Amino acid sequence: MKRWFALSAIGADRPGIVADLAGLIYECDCNLEDSSMTILGSEFAVLLLLTGEGDAVEQRLSAACKRLEWEKRLTVFFRPLDSAPLSYGARHQATRYELQAVGVDQAGIVAKVARCLADRRINICDMRTHARPEPGSGTVIYTMHITMDAPQGTDETVLRRDLDRIASELNIDVTVMRESCEVSRQS
């Protein structure tokens, strides 16, 4: 019987972390189904979705993760999932959006936008943020990209109004795109 697992790992960035994790998965007779990896500061972080079969697969993964932590100085966590993850379309009837927020770096950008989305039961599927100094002035500009799923019946006018209010309050630009159509923009 196929079993599903989520695995996360973090450690000082260096060449070979992906090879170490892929080797662990292979050695445990598992299959890498999905992944997300990134470098945050000087740390490499990874989230993996994997499958394996047999009664001993969880014990093999546990032992291998402990060995990898010891040998490669990674912090590794894994857990079995109750069932196979559902695909985007099967999870719920939702509309996929892309949101971008850009402005002078300040406290509250992520917190206020994320709360606005959560209050509308909009699920954040992926989020990337960057703070970079602007050439010339050195002013730190914060950029946030969010991929999100909005449930059927989400009122785009209300979403626009609320995101425009946040954009105005923080003096940032917020753009939301739905299926190649611009929904909201505030300068």
What's the CATH code of the domain at 52? 3.30.70.260
Spell out the residues 6+ positions from residue 37 whose beta carbon is closer than 8 angstroms to its own: 18, 44, 45, 46, 47
Q: Which of 55, 80, 105 is the last residue of a domain?
A: 80
User: Which range marks the domain in which residue 65 is found?
Assistant: 2-80
Helix (H) / strand (E) containing 175:
strand 173-178
**Would the pTM count as exceeding 0.85?**
no
Radius of gyration of the chain (CA): 20
Q: Is residue 86 part of a domain?
A: no
Using 50, 70 and 90 to split pLDDT, how confident is the model at 1? confident
Helix (H) / strand (E) containing 59:
helix 57-72
Whether the predicted pLDDT of 93 surpasses 70? yes
Q: Is residue 130 part of a domain?
A: yes
Tens-place pLDDT, residues 121-167: 999 999 999 999 999 999 999 999 999 999 989 999 999 899 999 99
Spell out the residues 6+ positions from residue 14 whose beta carbon is closer than 8 angstroms to its own: 44
Average pLDDT, the chain: 92
Q: Which of 46, 80, 114 is the last residue of a domain?
A: 80
Give me the percent of the chain exceeding a pLDDT of 70.
92
Tens-place pLDDT, residues 58-77: 999 999 999 999 999 999 99
Residue 183 per-residue DSSP state: E
